[in-house]
Amino acid sequence: MDEVKAEDIVILDLQGLTLIADYFVLGTARSDTQMRAICEQLEERAAEHGYRLLHREGEYHARWVLLDLGDVVVHLFHPEARAYYDLEQLWADAGRVERSQVA
């Protein structure tokens, strides 16, 4: 997500809190073009690391796109949608993973 300039990237560790996924990765895109670029890059990188896209919810022109990679679910928002849904607050019990810890 860094390579295509996603902003405010946060990784939430959901292990032990839900069966939905082990991690949520949250990021912000400033435009539809950036949203598309980030999603395409994520799908390519995920495949390179052995993850398969199980489902995509939302379109590139949407305010929120979800990429389900199984144990990892990526939520990419436009700024207004990120503030409105406030997943960081909703999952306040989740630990945060430092990006430097991610290989």
Q: Quick one: pLDDT at residue 101?
A: 65
Say if residue 103's pLDDT is above 60: no
At 28, which amino acid appears?
T
Say if residue 61's pLDDT is above 90: no
The helix (H) or strand (E) run that includes residue 33 is: helix 32-48
Summarised one tens digit per residue, pLDDT across range 1-45 is 777 789 999 999 999 999 999 999 999 999 999 999 999 999 999
Q: Which domains does the chain have, with CATH numbers?
A: 2-92 (3.30.460.10)
Q: Quick one: pLDDT at residue 2?
A: 74
pLDDT tier, 59 (very low <50, low <70, confident <90, very high otherwise): confident
C-alpha span between 60 and 57 (Å, rounded): 10
